[in-house]
Amino acid sequence: MGNVQEGENIMSYQPFTEQTVVEHVRQLGYLQEGIAECEEIGDGNLNLVFRIRQGEQRLIVKQALPYAKVVGESWPLTLERAWIEQLALREFATVASRYVPAVLGSDRTLAYTIIEDLSDYEIVRTGYLKGESYPELARHIGEFLGETLFATSDYAAGPIAKKRIERDYYNPELCDITEKLIFTDPFKDAESNNIEAALREDVERLWQDQALKVEVTKLKVGFVTKHEALLHGDLHTGSIFATQQETKIIDPEFAFYGPFGFDLGQIIAHLTLSTFHDPLKRFERFTDVLTVWETFEKTFRANFERAVEPFNTDGFVDELLRTVFSDTIGYAGCELIRRAVGLAGVADLETLPEATRLERKRDALALGTALIKERHGVESIDDLVTLLAGVRV
| Footprint on this chain of a copy of itself (rule: CB under 8 A) | 154, 159-160, 162-164, 166-167, 170, 172-173, 175-176, 179-180, 183-184, 210, 213-214, 216-218, 220-221, 224-228, 309-311, 313-316, 319-320
Dist. CA 382–CA 393, nearest whole Å: 19
Residue 62 annotated as binding site: yes
Dist. CA 342–CA 186, nearest whole Å: 5
Residue whose CB is less far from a copy of itself, 317 or 336: 317
Residue 338 annotated as binding site: yes
Which DSSP string corresponds to 288-302? HHHHHHHHHHHHHHH
Cβ-contact 23, 39 below 8 angstroms:
no
- Beta-carbon contacts of 219 under 8 Å, excluding residues fewer than 6 positions away, are 183, 327, 330, 331, 334, 372
Residue 303 annotated as binding site: no
Residue whose CB is less far from a copy of itself, 102 or 214: 214
Residue whose CB is less far from a copy of itself, 162 or 270: 162
Cβ at position 152, least distance to a copy of itself in Å: 12
Residue whose CB is less far from a copy of itself, 29 or 172: 172
Residue whose CB is less far from a copy of itself, 98 or 376: 376
Residue whose CB is less far from a copy of itself, 136 or 166: 166
Pairing mode, if any, of strands 57-64 and 112-116?
A: antiparallel
Dist. CA 77–CA 295, nearest whole Å: 36
Cβ at position 209, least distance to a copy of itself in Å: 11
Residue 154 annotated as binding site: no
Cβ at position 162, least distance to a copy of itself in Å: 8
Cβ at position 147, least distance to a copy of itself in Å: 19
Q: Which of 138, 112, 114, 110 minimizes the C-alpha distance to 124?
A: 138
Cβ at position 375, least distance to a copy of itself in Å: 14
Cβ-contact 293, 381 below 8 angstroms:
yes
Residue 234 annotated as binding site: yes
Residue 116 annotated as binding site: yes
Which DSSP string corresponds to 3-26? EEPTTT--SPP----HHHHHHHHH
Cβ at position 354, least distance to a copy of itself in Å: 33
Give binding residues as ranges: 47, 62, 116-118, 234, 251-253, 338
